[in-house]
């Protein structure tokens, strides 16, 4: 009788360890995919030298083609993309709306105008979900990234501009 209780406990511990390992492996794979998507979007912004209708279309098409469907809340003051088929950003005024990704900007000089040696930096935020079958979505995490300084030469590079 004593050995059967020990064997049952051993199976419980082994089962719990297997579940934890599978959860960790799932989290690592999903995080890696989201990190790759974020890096590619940052590369697109840098290659296109900032935001334009063309760069937004490329980003949205890239995310849609890679089956990116995660939405979450953006912070107030950021710009969010509600629909990957639409190429217009929405300025976030409340945190109850869900967005596919968020973007904000800051400049190397405080006025952020088109002047000599002024660079613009885009902060990009993408989301990934940690979900387990039968339990559903457990947590949503943001992944942030920032572009290198992009020379500001046109007002259309600015968000809302």
* pLDDT, tens digit, 9 for 90 and up, residues 83-125: 898 888 888 888 888 999 999 988 877 777 776 678 888 999 9
Report whether 56 contacts 86 (CB < 8 A): no
Average pLDDT per block of 10 residues along the chain, 161 residues long: 70 89 84 91 90 89 91 90 87 87 85 74 89 71 90 70 56
How many structural domains compose the chain? 1
Helical segments of the chain, H only: 2-47, 53-65
Contacts of 156 (CB under 8 A, 6+ apart): 51, 52
Provide the pLDDT for residue 8: 82
Radius of gyration of the chain (CA): 21
- Domain residue limits at 133: 2-157
Instruction: Give the C-alpha distances (Å, rounded to integers) separating 44 from 58, 60, 78, 144.
Output: 8, 11, 19, 15
């Amino acid at each position: 009788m004593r050995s059967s209780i020990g064997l049952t406990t051993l199976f419980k511990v082994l089962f719990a360890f297997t579940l934890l390992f599978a959860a960790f492996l799932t989290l690592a794979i999903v995080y890696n995919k989201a990190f790759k998507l974020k890096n590619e979007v940052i590369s697109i912004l840098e290659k296109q030298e900032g935001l334009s209708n063309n760069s937004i279309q490329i980003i949205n098409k890239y995310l849609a083609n890679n089956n990116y469907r995660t939405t979450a809340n953006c912070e107030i003051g950021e710009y969010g993309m509600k629909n990957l088929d639409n190429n217009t950003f929405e300025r976030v005024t409340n945190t109850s709306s869900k967005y596919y990704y968020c973007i904000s900007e800051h400049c190397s000089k405080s006025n952020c105008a088109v002047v000599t040696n002024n660079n613009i930096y885009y902060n990009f935020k993408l989301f990934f979900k940690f979900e387990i079958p039968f339990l559903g979505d457990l947590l949503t995490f943001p992944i942030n990234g920032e572009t290198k300084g992009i020379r500001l030469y046109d007002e259309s590079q600015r968000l809302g501009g």
